[in-house]
C-alpha cells in the first residue's frame, strides 16, 4: 500500500515485527519496538511550539542512534526533516539554516562543536543529545499522529550555481511512491540486512532508512572507517542488500580489496549518483556472480531515483554503449518522461525531463524554479513562465541521455554541474565562493576526468596566495569534496574567440 507517510510505514512495521532488530549502529542493536519508543519519547521532549503550521527540524547528526531517532521523531511530529552534515563547514550549515529556518535543531556529539557559532542562533531552539541519553528519555505527552501525504517529509540542499545551496522539499506522497516501489522490487523482508553508506544529507539515504523500515529488514550502519573496505564490511555484517556510489568500487579496486567470490550473503547490489562503468560493474560482480547489479539514476528533485537498469547475469550479454557506461534504463512506468532535443522537440538524444508523483513541487526559494520546468506548446517543449510549477510541467534534469539498445544511457551534464563521489556539485558555486575572497577578482573551476575519477582544479586572478592558504579558506566554507585539489594563480583568464572564458584552455593548463 503506497498511501502511507514515511512515519506510518515505519510505525506499521514496528507493530508487525516489534522484536526484529531495526537498526545496528555502533554498539547498539535496536529492535523496532525500541526504536519506535525512542522516537516517540524524543518527539515528546522536543521544544516545539504548539500550533506551528508545518515545522522544520534540522538534524545536525552523523552515524549515531541520535541521528536515526531524531529523524523519526521529527516525522512523528509532522515536521519536515532538514539534515545537516557535521562534517561540512559550520558556515555552510548556517547558510542552509538561514534558508530553511528550522524551529528546532537536534545535535548529537559529532555536531556539538558547531553549536558555538551562528548555527545555534538560527534555530528556534537547540536540543543536544548523546546516544546514551536516548534510552533514558521519558515518554511524555504527545498528540495523536496526523498523517498528511502532501506535507513535506524532508528538505535537502543541493549545490546551487548562484553560490547559495538550493532547498529541495520532498513530500510524503513523493517519498512513499518511491519507497513502496523499491521495497517491493528488492524483496525486502525480515532477515534482510541493508547497507547504509550514505550520509543523511544525500537523498539515497531515504532508501536505506525507509525501504528497510517499511519491510522489517535491518539497517546496518557502518562507521566511516568501515567504508574504506566495503568487502570486509559486507562479509562481517552479512549484508544482503548493498547500495552505494560507484566510486566505492574504484576505491576498493585501487586497494586490491575486491577478491572474487568472497561475499556469499549478497542478494542485490544497487549503484547511484555517478555513471557506473563496465569496469566497475565487472569488478563488483566478481564478488558474488549470482547477485544481480542494478544501475539507477535520479536527481534529488525526482525523489532519489526514477530509472533502473539491471545488468544481465552473463557479462557476454551486457550491451555495448557509446561511453562504456552501464545504461540507466527506462524511467519508472508510473512516471512520465521525455527526451528533449536542442530544438525543443522530442529526440533520441537530449535532456531528460520527467514529471509525476515523485517530482518535487518547486524549490524552497521560488526564484530557483526559473528555467527548471518545461511545458508543452504546439509540439515543442518550452520553459514554463509560472513561479510555481504545476503538475503537468516536466522537471528539467540537466542530464543528457541517449536511447541505445532500447535503454537510456547517461552521457553527462548539459551545464557545469558534475558528480564527485556521488555528490552533485555546481562548479559555479565553488567559483562564487572563491570570488568572495577579498584577494580574488575572477575564478574558474574545471573538472578533470582520469578514468573513473573526477578531480577539480581552480584558477583565479587577483593577488597570488599559497595553495595552502586559499585551500584552508575554502575548507571553512565548502565540503571537502568541493574544494579543488589544485589552485593556480593567473594574471588573466584565457578567452576564446567569442570573448568567453576558455575552459578547454584551462583544462590544458591544469597540473597533472
Q: For residue range 350-398, what is the model confidence (pLDDT) as tens digits?
A: 999 999 999 999 999 999 999 999 999 888 999 999 999 999 999 999 9
Q: For residue range 83-124, what is the model confidence (pLDDT) as tens digits?
A: 999 999 999 999 999 999 999 999 999 999 999 888 989 999
Whole-structure pTM over 0.85, yes or no? yes
Secondary structure of 101-146 in HEC code, one letter for each residue: CCCEEEECCCCHHHHHCCHHHHCCEEEECCHHHHHHCCCCCCCCCC
**What residue segments make up the domains of the chain, in order of their start?**
336-402, 417-509
Q: For residue range 166-185, what is the model confidence (pLDDT) as tens digits?
A: 999 999 999 999 999 999 99
pLDDT, residue 497, reads 53
The percentage of residues in the chain with a pLDDT greater than 90, rounded to a whole number, is 74
CA–CA dist 462, 442 (Å, integer): 7
- Please, which pLDDT band fits residue 427 given cuts at 50, 70 and 90? confident
Higher pLDDT, 506 or 510: 506
pLDDT, residue 343, reads 93
Average of per-residue pLDDT across 449-455: 81
- pLDDT value at 161 more than 60: no
- pLDDT value at 413 more than 60: yes
**CATH classification code of 417-509:** 3.30.300.30
363-367: long-range pairs with CB below 8 Å, 24+: 363/166, 363/167, 363/168, 363/169, 364/99, 364/100, 364/155, 364/166, 364/167, 364/168, 364/169, 365/99, 365/166, 365/167
Q: For residue range 183-228, what is the model confidence (pLDDT) as tens digits?
A: 999 999 999 999 999 999 999 999 999 999 999 999 999 988 888 7
CB 227 within 8 A of CB 250: no
- Please, which pLDDT band fits residue 286 given cuts at 50, 70 and 90? very high
Which range, of 72-86, 218-232, 413-427, 494-508, averages the lowest pLDDT? Answer: 494-508
pLDDT, residue 1, reads 46
Average of per-residue pLDDT across 39-53: 86
Amino acid at each position: 500500500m503506497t498511501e502511507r507517510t514515511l512515519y506510518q510505514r515505519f510505525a506499521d512495521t514496528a507493530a508487525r515485527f516489534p522484536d526484529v532488530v531495526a537498526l545496528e549502529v555502533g554498539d547498539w542493536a535496536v529492535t523496532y519496538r525500541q526504536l519506535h519508543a525512542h522516537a516517540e519519547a524524543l518527539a515528546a521532549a522536543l521544544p516545539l511550539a504548539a500550533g506551528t503550521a508545518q515545522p522544520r527540524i534540522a538534524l545536525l547528526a552523523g552515524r549515531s542512534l541520535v541521528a536515526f531517532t531524531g529523524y523519526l521523531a521529527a516525522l512523528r511530529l509532522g515536521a519536515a526533516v532538514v539534515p545537516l552534515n557535521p562534517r561540512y563547514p559550520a558556515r555552510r550549515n548556517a547558510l542552509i539554516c538561514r534558508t530553511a529556518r528550522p524551529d528546532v535543531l537536534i545535535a548529537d556529539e559529532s555536531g556539538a562543536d558547531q553549536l558555538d557559532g551562528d548555527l545555534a542562533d538560527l534555530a528556534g531552539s537547540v536540543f543536544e543529545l548523546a546516544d546514551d541519553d536516548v534510552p533514558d528519555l521519558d515518554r511524555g505527552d504527545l498528540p495523536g499522529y496526523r498523517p498528511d501525504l502532501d506535507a513535506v517529509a524532508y528538505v535537502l540542499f543541493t549545490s546551487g550555481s548562484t553560490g547559495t545551496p538550493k532547498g529541495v522539499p520532498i513530500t510524503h506522497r513523493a517519498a512513499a511512491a518511491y519507497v513502496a516501489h523499491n521495497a517491493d522490487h528488492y524483496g525486502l523482508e525480515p532477515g534482510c540486512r541493508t547497507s547504509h553508506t550514505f550520509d543523511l544529507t544525500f537523498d539515497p539515504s531515504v532508501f536505506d532508512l525507509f525501504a528497510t523500515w517499511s519491510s522489517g529488514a535491518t539497517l546496518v550502519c557502518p562507521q566511516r572507517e568501515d567504508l574504506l573496505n566495503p568487502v570486509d564490511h559486507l562479509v562481517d555484517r552479512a549484508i544482503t542488500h548493498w547500495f552505494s556510489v560507484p566510486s566505492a568500487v574504484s576505491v576498493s579496486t585501487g586497494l586490491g580489496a575486491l577478491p572474487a567470490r568472497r561475499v556469499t550473503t549478497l542478494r542485490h547490489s544497487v549503484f547511484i549518483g555517478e555513471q557506473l562503468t563496465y569496469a566497475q560493474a565487472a569488478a563488483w560482480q566478481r564478488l558474488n556472480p549470482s547477485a544481480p547489479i542494478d544501475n539507477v539514476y535520479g536527481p534529488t528533485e525526482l525523489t532519489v531515483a526514477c530509472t533502473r537498469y539491471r545488468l544481465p547475469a552473463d557479462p557476454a550479454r551486457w550491451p555495448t554503449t557509446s561511453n562504456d557506461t552501464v545504461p540507466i534504463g527506462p524511467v519508472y512506468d508510473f512516471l512520465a518522461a521525455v527526451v528533449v532535443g536542442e530544438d525543443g522537440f522530442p529526440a533520441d538524444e537530449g535532456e531528460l525531463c520527467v514529471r509525476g508523483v515523485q517530482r518535487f513541487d518547486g524549490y524552497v526559494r521560488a526564484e530557483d524554479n526559473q528555467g527548471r520546468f518545461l511545458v508543452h506548446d504546439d509540439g515543442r517543449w518550452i520553459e514554463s513562465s509560472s513561479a510555481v510549477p504545476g503538475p503537468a510541467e516536466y522537471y528539467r534534469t540537466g542530464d543528457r541521455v541517449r536511447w541505445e539498445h532500447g535503454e537510456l544511457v547517461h552521457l553527462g551534464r548539459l551545464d557545469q554541474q558534475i558528480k564527485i563521489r556521488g555528490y552533485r556539485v555546481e562548479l559555479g558555486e565553488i567559483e562564487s565562493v572563491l570570488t568572495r575572497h577579498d584577494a580574488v577578482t575572477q575564478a574558474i573551476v574545471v573538472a578533470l576526468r582520469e578514468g573513473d575519477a573526477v578531480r577539480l582544479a581552480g584558477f583565479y586572478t587577483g593577488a597570488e596566495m599559497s595553495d595552502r592558504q586559499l585551500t584552508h579558506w575554502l575548507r571553512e566554507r565548502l565540503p571537502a569534496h568541493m574544494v579543488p585539489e589544485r589552485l593556480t594563480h593567473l594574471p588573466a583568464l584565457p578567452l576564446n574567440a567569442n570573448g568567453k572564458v576558455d575552459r578547454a584552455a584551462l583544462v590544458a593548463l591544469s597540473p597533472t
